[in-house]
């Protein structure tokens, strides 16, 4: 299982311009308040799968899992998650 850090998630968001905000993202930033919407969530999911070799099913794409970079990284790094 990959060890995914909150900073790696933020780097991916910034690199691919998933959200555009005037305030720098931090590990605890609310991604939805920063501009993450359903389309951006799909884009982020694809980049996460490609970058980290994880698989995210549509049913797992919830506000709870994508709330912040910290929450997302912790969830994706959980040992019970399946890799692609």
- CB neighbour burial string for 21-35, b if at least 16 within 10 angstroms, e if fewer: eeeebeeebebeebe
Q: What is the average pLDDT value for the chain, to the nearest integer? A: 91
Residue 34, pLDDT score? 95
Residue 84, pLDDT score? 47
Residue 81, pLDDT score? 64
Residue 29, Cα to own-chain centre: how many angstroms? 12
Residue 40, pLDDT score? 96
Domains and CATH numbers, the chain: 6-77 (1.10.1200.10)
Residue segments in the chain with a per-residue pLDDT below the cut of 70: 1-2, 81-84
Task: Note the pLDDT tens digit of each residue in 6-20.
Answer: 999 999 999 999 998
């Amino acid at each position: 299982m990959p060890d995914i850090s909150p900073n790696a998630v933020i780097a991916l968001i910034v690199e691919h311009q998933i959200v555009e905000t005037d305030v720098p993202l931090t590990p605890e930033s609310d991604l939805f308040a920063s501009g993450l919407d359903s389309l951006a969530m799909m884009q982020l999911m694809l980049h996460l799968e490609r970058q980290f070799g994880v698989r995210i099913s549509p049913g797992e794409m919830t506000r709870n899992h994508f709330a912040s970079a910290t929450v997302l990284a912790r969830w994706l790094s959980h040992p019970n998650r399946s890799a692609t």
